Amino acid sequence: MSQIDRANAEAVRRILSGDPVLVDVVPAGDAIPALKDGRKILHAGPPIGWDRMCGPMRGAVQGIAVFEGWARDLEDAAGKADQGAFAFHPNHAFGAVGPMTGMTTLSQPLLVVENRAFGNRAYCAINEGLGKVMRFGGNDAEVLTRLAWLRDQLGPALGLALRDMGGIPLKTLVARGLTMGDEMHQRNVACSSLLLRLLAPALARTTTDTADLARCLDFIGRNDQFFLNVAMAMGKAMTDPARGIAASSIVTAMCRNGTDFGIRVAGTGDQWFTAPVEMPVGMYFPGYSEADANPDMGDSAIVETIGLGGFAMGAAPAVVGFIGAGTASDAANFTRAMAEITLGPNPEWTIPAMDYAGVPTGIDIRRVVESGIAPTINTGIAHRKPGVGQVGAGTVKAPLKCFEDALEAFAAGMGIT
Amino acid sequence: MSQIDRANAEAVRRILSGDPVLVDVVPAGDAIPALKDGRKILHAGPPIGWDRMCGPMRGAVQGIAVFEGWARDLEDAAGKADQGAFAFHPNHAFGAVGPMTGMTTLSQPLLVVENRAFGNRAYCAINEGLGKVMRFGGNDAEVLTRLAWLRDQLGPALGLALRDMGGIPLKTLVARGLTMGDEMHQRNVACSSLLLRLLAPALARTTTDTADLARCLDFIGRNDQFFLNVAMAMGKAMTDPARGIAASSIVTAMCRNGTDFGIRVAGTGDQWFTAPVEMPVGMYFPGYSEADANPDMGDSAIVETIGLGGFAMGAAPAVVGFIGAGTASDAANFTRAMAEITLGPNPEWTIPAMDYAGVPTGIDIRRVVESGIAPTINTGIAHRKPGVGQVGAGTVKAPLKCFEDALEAFAAGMGIT
């Protein structure tokens, strides 16, 4: 076994032996104290400045600046952004992830996933539901009012319930979700439902006002994608222990900011390898078409990085039609293709319809470059203008250039020319 | 099109156009006033007297007699049963169904499913959960205490919440469950979870004591089979409008009492065609084997009668291993086989992994007899002694003799010799 093979086996061992537990919901400023200084705005994807941000990302920045009280209104926020009043950083730089635009600022409540096998924690905001939402660039009063309710009601209620329960172990929950048609990216109805089943009694025990309780249960219950943000924090918590393993060519993060796609590789530490992000191919909601679509966006590809999403398509035949990726019976083919570029199957996360084949885990940049097979990512599609919201769902390929550049840097680091 | 084909098309049209809605939970004596007279005990399956009842059925009768205050203790109950103190009738004779032993007596709370397309209602007791339970012949203090809690707390709370919501439409819920790996007989985790998602906010609005609420949510949340009893009442509500359609050879009920298997056919009205019930073939819990098993039991085969359970196996690859019916990838073969003996696919209940083939619906006794293919039923397996409980799960074949006898009577009624 070569040095690289050994390092890769260790990287995948760390990913597979993670023990992610949803333990709390806390204000972002408590989870990430650095957010308290200097009007920091964390965003999805690799680093990007205001000047290169796409429409929905700019819309979200304007909205969150108003929400945090850093701007009078959206116009004022845009002006301040232009003048450099906000410090932009990737979520990944602070142990966090965020879907689509992925705004994380100090007063938002964050889901906390603790990887009990390694002691690290990762964070993600609470899913806002469907319709006009900040993750798709929404920034009007409806969006900001909902964010305030998440901050003032749902976030604290969830935190109380989770602490009362001692947390919710996620590994078995996800294993179950895979037997129930979820791939944990564009389809989370099973895990969202299973999570609510576990949360509801604890919320009832810890919430005193039954009207508040009913609203919390209703909000979670109406959102089939509620679990996505939990899965994302889980993905970050599971991949972080593999970061920085010398000589490993395993991918530790994939993410997009709507302009660039970026990856990180274990053996090259926290360096980003970026390329222009691609356009998703998929199904559009009535009244919209590809002409309306923003290029691919969000930190959510962290779920593909741990073998879920497009990699677990075989578990979720019902998602294939939703994202316009072919016929339902083709679902397993996506999973088989991803097995070509990964180190091996996850023995604990298996797909019944594929006779319990494990989801393909541990993307090896060498295999991606050699095979020319790019990771398939299941994704929502945002309107390219701020404030409109989601217009469809589809699949997108990670740009091969990220992997080629990463392999070059990796090889150079290993002294291979 | 022959007279029989026309009648069968009408029978299946009625089954498929049903609009089942879970509308209430009420005391059985209110739903079925006849229960208030004469110490009536309704049981699963076709008619049977105390003398021919199997072990777990006798155990359940003893337990429910104590529960209703008709006997001092289990021994006294057995003596009274021997002396003819209780009037035994099938659930099916009173618009009801019950899982396994299927005890229905006046003070138990019943789920009420209304078929809004036809105005009829059907009833089933609330699922008691796992472990020692009356449906598997359990009858000790733990079992009776739980039944009292269902009667005094959970039943009334569910009734209040359901009335507040205006009921829960079941057709779309089941459609969704089929995309999430449920077949609605031995696997109900998706529909149980989806149901709780809908019920939880209403329970929170209508329950005043949060400790009671937490216990209700916890009880439902811990029981993956909670939805089974809802599905059974739904099956009864959907098949009843097809009862008595002259010249139709479509099955309107299949059920078992642990001694006999019985079927009813549309064109022969409420006549039962029975045969000795078969032994399930399946997987046993640790410490148990086929030697411990009771023959097949329960009204739950009403779900196969509407195309679910064994008929919808293709939707539920994960159930195949649980019931010991082969490899997960074989699941679709069961569904394909059942298509041979049914009138056609249900366009609203489809299976994604089979490219949205509808579940095979409308068992035609002619096709069963001609093909020799018996309906496959997914089932729990009870210990043959009273009071032990569930020992496994498996599949069982409906005895062909029921269908042969029914076909003979049907043909005679049609003047065919």
pTM: 0.95
The two tokens of residue A298 are 């969000």
The two tokens of residue B82 are 């021997």
Which amino acid appears at position B320 of this protein?
A: V
The two tokens of residue B272 are 């039962």
What CATH number has the domain bearing residue B127? Answer: 3.90.1710.10
Which amino acid appears at position B316 of this protein?
A: A
Clarify whether residues A293 and A389 are in a common domain. Answer: yes
Mutate which: A178, A210, A222, vs B, most B CBs within 10 A: A210
- Average pLDDT estimate for B354-380: 97
Are B355 and A181 a contacting pair at CB < 8 A?
A: no
Clarify whether residues A137 and A181 are in a common domain. Answer: yes
Q: What is the pLDDT of residue A301?
A: 98
Q: What is the pLDDT of residue B42?
A: 98
| Mean residue pLDDT across chain B | 96
Clarify whether residues A50 and A179 are in a common domain. Answer: yes
Are A354 and B329 a contacting pair at CB < 8 A?
A: yes
Q: What is the pLDDT of residue A219?
A: 98
As for how many domains chain B has, the answer is 2
CB-nearest partner of A179 from B181, B214, B329: B181
In a domain, B43, yes or no: yes
- Residues of chain A predicted below pLDDT 50: none
CB-nearest partner of B210 from A204, A221, A321: A204
Provide the shortest C-alpha distance from residue A314 to chain B (in Å).
9
Phi, psi for A295 (deg, rounded to 5): -60, 165
In a domain, B257, yes or no: yes
Q: What is the pLDDT of residue B404?
A: 98
In a domain, A11, yes or no: no
The parent domain of residue B211 ranges over 17-233
Q: What is the pLDDT of residue B107?
A: 97
Q: What is the pLDDT of residue A386?
A: 86
In a domain, B10, yes or no: no
Clarify whether residues B358 and B309 are in a common domain. Answer: yes
Clarify whether residues A206 and A281 are in a common domain. Answer: no
What H or E segment, with its residue span, contains residue A211?
Answer: helix A210-221
CB-nearest partner of A221 from B180, B201, B207: B201
Using CA atoms, how far apart are residues A70 and A65, in angstroms rounded to an integer?
A: 5
Is residue A402 within 8 Å of residue A273, measured between CB atoms?
A: yes
Q: Which residues pair with A283 in a beta bridge?
A: A393
Clarify whether residues A34 and A137 are in a common domain. Answer: yes
- Average pLDDT estimate for B196-212: 95
A356 contacts in chain B (CB < 8 Å): 328
pLDDT tens sequence across B30-69: 999 999 999 999 999 999 999 999 999 999 999 999 999 9
pLDDT tens sequence across A63-109: 999 999 999 999 999 999 999 999 999 999 999 999 999 999 999 99
Report the Cα B277 to chain-centroid distance in Å. Answer: 16
Are A200 and B200 a contacting pair at CB < 8 A?
A: yes
Confidence of residue B310 (pLDDT cuts 50, 70, 90): very high
The DSSP secondary structure of B28-57, one letter per residue, reads HHHHSGGGGTTTEEEESSS---GGG--HHH
Q: What is the pLDDT of residue B396?
A: 95
Q: What is the pLDDT of residue A389?
A: 86
Clarify whether residues B110 and B129 are in a common domain. Answer: yes
In a domain, B11, yes or no: no
pLDDT tens sequence across A208-266: 899 999 999 999 999 999 999 999 999 999 999 999 999 999 999 999 999 999 999 99
Q: What is the pLDDT of residue A224?
A: 97
Asked which of B233, B255, B274 is the last residue of a domain, the reply is B233
In a domain, A368, yes or no: yes
Clarify whether residues B166 and B279 are in a common domain. Answer: no
Confidence of residue B131 (pLDDT cuts 50, 70, 90): confident
pLDDT tens sequence across B275-293: 999 999 999 999 999 999 9
Side by side, the strands of the sheet bearing A281-284 are A281-284, A390-397, A376-382
Clarify whether residues A274 and A383 are in a common domain. Answer: yes
Q: Examine the pLDDT at B417 and tell me if it is beyond 80.
A: no
Asked which of B233, B260, B278 is the last residue of a domain, the reply is B233
Using CA atoms, how far apart are residues A79 and A70, in angstroms rounded to an integer?
A: 11
In a domain, A10, yes or no: no
Q: Examine the pLDDT at B358 and tell me if it is beyond 80.
A: yes
CB-nearest partner of B197 from A179, A213, A221: A221
Clarify whether residues A303 and A404 are in a common domain. Answer: yes
Using CA atoms, how far apart are residues A161 and A173, in angstroms rounded to an integer?
A: 18
Which amino acid appears at position A25 of this protein?
A: V
Q: What is the pLDDT of residue B130?
A: 87
Report the Cα A152 to chain-centroid distance in Å. Answer: 24
Clarify whether residues A294 and A357 are in a common domain. Answer: yes
What H or E segment, with its residue span, contains residue A342?
Answer: strand A342-351
Clarify whether residues B156 and B91 are in a common domain. Answer: yes
In a domain, A154, yes or no: yes
Closest CA to A245 of A209, A210, A270, A277: A270
Are A205 and B211 a contacting pair at CB < 8 A?
A: yes
For residue B216, the chain A residue with the least C-alpha distance is A201
Helix (H, G, I), strand (E, B) or coil at A95: coil
Q: B55, exposed or middle or buried, with CB in 10 Å at 0-12, 13-18, 19+?
A: middle
Asked which of B233, B264, B286 is the last residue of a domain, the reply is B233
Mutate which: A160, A193, A320, vs B, most B CBs within 10 A: A193
Q: Is this complex's ipTM strictly greater than 0.90?
A: yes
What CATH number has the domain bearing residue B321? Answer: 3.90.1700.10
The two tokens of residue B295 are 């023959």
Angle between helices A210-221 and B210-221 (to 10 degrees): 20
Q: What is the pLDDT of residue B43?
A: 98
A214 contacts in chain B (CB < 8 Å): 201-202, 204-205
Q: How many CB pairs under 8 A join A and B?
A: 115
- Provide the 8-state DSSP code for A285: -
Q: What is the pLDDT of residue B416?
A: 86
Using CA atoms, how far apart are residues B111 and B30, in angstroms rounded to an integer?
A: 12
